[in-house]
Amino acid sequence: MARILLTGAAGDIGTRLRKILKPVYPQLRLSDIKEPADLSADEEFVPAELVRIEDVERAVDGVEGVIHLGGYSVEGPWETILQSNIIGCYNLFEAARRKGVKRIVFASSNHAVGFYPRHHQIGVNVAVRPDSRYGVSKAFGEALGALYANKHGLRVLCIRIGNVGDIPIDKRRLAIWLKPEDLAQLIHIGLQHPDLRFEIFYGSSWNERGWWDNHRAYDYGYRPTGRAEDYREHAMAEQAKLKPDPVGDFFQGGSFCSLEFTGDGGLVWKT
């Protein structure tokens, strides 16, 4: 693919990906609400509010593929999540359909399935168990991707991203860490693999403590280069500084599960 759009380009993950993807996709177009602070003269930027479909249509016009990172990236009030991550996500898929985009890589999240216990290994076909309003919006995006793949022929990859960073920084991240270069590898599969129609992958590196069966990604040629256990001592030293979180420490979603938690712990623990 020649021309690719990266939404959410001013965010942390978007900033990392710009540097990695630019040599592979030299016609990479960037979009966000605000212009990246370090935008260079040879980078194309199109500002867009996801809730304004006319903005989104302008951003996707003329591109073959979209990497959709845009939206609200943490838990927030319902109205914020609704506007950015649900209406905005719908606008992105619909604008892509109208403009003839061929492929979309959607940045989903582990929080779409965060209420599975850590002692369970889960694949991509489990029922969603979102741990937050944010997680609900990511489950919505996956469902929307399936709709547009099956009804309109877009090729869609949803990546349930764990935690992107230079190294894993606590015990939970030893299970869900995603090296930025490994995320770029997954994105490349979504944009280029000839057999991909609609898939969900987990966004994790080579994590020996991992909770996810990611064989579908490996079937498509994914070979992560990051190994979480290389940073075990640092991660566990940082973990020792954290306060215990009975709910968050039990479930895969961590603190997203314990935030605002008012449920019956006795029932939830039997899940």
User: 239 — alpha (psi -120 to 50), left (phi > 0) or beta?
Assistant: alpha
* 3-class DSSP assignment, residue 77: coil
DSSP state of 82: I
Q: What is the CATH number of the domain that holds 249?
A: 3.40.50.720
Distance CA 104, CA 87 (A): 17
Which residues sit opposite 103 in a β-bridge?
65, 155
Identify the domain containing residue 264 by its residue range: 3-268
Q: Is 134 a catalytic residue?
A: yes
pLDDT in tens, the chain (271 residues): 789 999 999 999 999 999 999 999 999 999 999 999 889 988 999 999 999 999 999 999 999 999 999 999 999 999 999 999 999 999 999 999 999 999 999 999 999 999 999 999 999 999 999 999 999 999 999 999 999 999 999 999 999 999 999 999 999 999 999 999 999 999 999 999 999 999 999 999 999 999 999 999 999 999 999 999 999 999 999 999 999 999 999 999 999 999 999 987 665 666 6
Which residue out of 25, 90, 116, 134 is catalytically annotated?
A: 134
CB 114 within 8 A of CB 76: no
Rounded CA separation 204/267 (Å)? 29
Q: What's the domain count of the chain?
A: 1
